[in-house]
């Protein structure tokens, strides 16, 4: 009986890189990557050559020279004698602050507006439709300037807060809204305040653990725990008990009118408020449409079945509609968060000192390092966008429907 052997295989040939389907796609990708790298090298070499012709070179030592300019609103200590790197850090923190708060407010307003657009009340639905269309079809810069004009022109001057001046503080004389900004109480930290803050943070973590446990309990047994009231108690009671046991280590410094302006407290400048509100309102209009489309993507039969079982409308929205709509809502929501963060660069229009105004503005003008400054600015926005995308994608993975 003759032995059966496999047919001999031909060895690898260079022609297979083009004519063999197993290797062709890899060959094309390698060639495209090489061409891209060559193009980037050519661009960098061209930039270096042109800068050398102008007597310049690429270096970042300017970051450690004295900045020589002030920043009107900052989260960390800073003076004009600090370095440009310190000024850039102050601008970065200001950008992150307005972006973080803007995303939160835009999400809250956007979700409410999106749900109210689907209301059966004709007036409510039409008002929300007008709001969404008016906001998203007007340039963001115009809204920033409108809010800034309202904050500076329609609010009283500090001297009007004197007795008989026609203006008064609100919230038990603790908050003053003037054309120079909003003045709020400033917390004063004494010994033992760190423990109060730690207990408060642990309480917030406990709320998340409770909600997770309650959800699992409901899925396994069908029982609903009073999550709202327990969460409310966890939010206030432990921190308040620690606060009084430690002898009230946290006090408030109230703003007071002194001379031509308020003293004490914390001043929130109108430039920050204008940028924050305009970004949030503008982005919320797009989020509202995303939420509306996500809700409409859920089959109407889901709602009808819930109502047939006697589930209340708010519980239907919370337990049935929104969990299914999130798979449609979250991906485009990431883009809106990224847009809001990048749109914060319009802060220069109202004088808010973000990273665009410090590193990408005054620092470049003083040092003449345009290429280096813009390169660092682009890297900052790129890294920030990638971090936001990563966190939101993790959240998207946690809320998406688990299929069998």
Residues 339-397: tens digit of each pLDDT: 999 999 999 899 899 999 999 899 999 988 888 899 999 999 999 999 999 999 888 88
Torsion sign over Cα 239, 242, 244, 246 = negative
| pTM (predicted TM-score) | 0.84
Mean pLDDT over all residues of the chain? 87
Identify which of 327, 333, 385 has the alpha carbon closest to the alpha carbon of residue 107.
Answer: 333
Residue pair 85/93 in contact by the 8 Å Cβ criterion? no
On the question of pLDDT at 279 being above 80, the answer is yes
On the question of pLDDT at 81 being above 60, the answer is yes
Distance separating alpha carbons of residues 183 and 204, to the nearest angstrom: 28
- Half-sphere exposure at residue 93, Cβ-oriented, CA atoms within 13 angstroms: 12
In this structure, what DSSP letter does residue 344 have? G
How many CB atoms are closer than 10 A to CB 7? Answer: 5
Distance separating alpha carbons of residues 152 and 270, to the nearest angstrom: 7
**Confidence category of residue 323, pLDDT binned at 50, 70, 90:** confident
On the question of pLDDT at 8 being above 80, the answer is no
Distance separating alpha carbons of residues 101 and 298, to the nearest angstrom: 30
Phi-psi region of 351 (alpha: psi -120 to 50; beta: other; left: phi over 0): left
Q: Which secondary-structure segment (H or E) carries 251?
A: strand 250-253
**Confidence category of residue 202, pLDDT binned at 50, 70, 90:** very high
Out of 14-23, 90-99, 189-198, 206-215, least confident range: 14-23
Residue pair 252/242 in contact by the 8 Å Cβ criterion? no
Per the DSSP assignment, residues forming a β-bridge with 263 are: 256
Q: What is the pLDDT of residue 270?
A: 92
Mean pLDDT confidence for 105-124? 91
Q: What is the pLDDT of residue 1?
A: 47
On the question of pLDDT at 404 being above 70, the answer is no
Residue pair 84/363 in contact by the 8 Å Cβ criterion? yes
All domains in the chain, ordered by first residue: 43-155+269-404 (1.10.3720.10)
Tokens representing 116 are 């109210």
């Amino acid at each position: 009986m003759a032995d059966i052997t496999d047919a001999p295989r031909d060895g690898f040939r260079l022609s297979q890189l083009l004519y063999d389907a197993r290797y062709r796609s890899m060959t094309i990708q390698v060639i495209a990557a090489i061409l891209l790298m060559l193009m980037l090298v050519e661009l960098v070499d061209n930039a270096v050559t042109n800068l050398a012709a102008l007597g310049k070179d690429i270096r970042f030592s300017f970051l450690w020279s004295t900045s020589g300019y002030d920043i009107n609103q900052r989260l960390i200590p800073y003076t004009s004698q600090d370095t440009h790197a310190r000024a850039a850090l102050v601008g970065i923190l200001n950008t992150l602050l307005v972006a973080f708060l803007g995303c939160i407010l835009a999400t809250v307003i956007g979700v409410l507006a999106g749900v109210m657009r689907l209301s059966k009340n004709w007036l409510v639905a039409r008002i929300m439709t007008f709001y969404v269309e008016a906001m998203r079809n007007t340039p963001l810069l115009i809204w920033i300037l409108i809010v800034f004009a309202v904050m500076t022109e329609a609010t009283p001057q500090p001297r009007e807060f004197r007795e008989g001046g026609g203006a008064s503080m609100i919230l038990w004389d603790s908050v003053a809204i003037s054309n120079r900004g909003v003045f709020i109480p400033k917390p004063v930290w004494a010994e033992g305040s760190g423990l109060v803050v730690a207990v408060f943070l642990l309480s917030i973590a406990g709320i998340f653990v409770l909600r997770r446990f309650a959800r699992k309990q409901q899925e396994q047994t069908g029982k609903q725990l009073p999550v709202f009231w327990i969460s409310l108690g966890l939010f206030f009671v432990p921190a308040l008990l620690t606060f009084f046991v430690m002898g009230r280590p946290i006090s408030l410094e109230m703003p007071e009118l002194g001379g031509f302006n308020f003293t004490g407290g914390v001043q929130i400048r109108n430039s920050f408020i204008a940028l924050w509100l305009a970004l949030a309102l503008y982005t919320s209009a797009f989020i509202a449409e995303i939420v509306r489309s996500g809700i409409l993507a859920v089959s109407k039969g889901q709602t009808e079945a819930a109502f047939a079982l006697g589930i209340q409308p708010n519980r239907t929205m919370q337990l049935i509609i929104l969990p299914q709509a999130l798979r449609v809502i979250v991906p485009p929501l990431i883009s809106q968060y990224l847009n809001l963060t990048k749109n914060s660069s319009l802060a220069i229009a109202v004088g808010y000192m973000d990273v665009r105004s410090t590193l990408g503005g005054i620092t470049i003008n003083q040092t003449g390092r345009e290429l280096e400054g813009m390169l660092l600015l682009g890297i900052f926005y790129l890294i920030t966008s990638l971090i936001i995308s990563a966190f939101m994608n993790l959240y998207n993975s946690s809320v998406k429907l688990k299929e069998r």
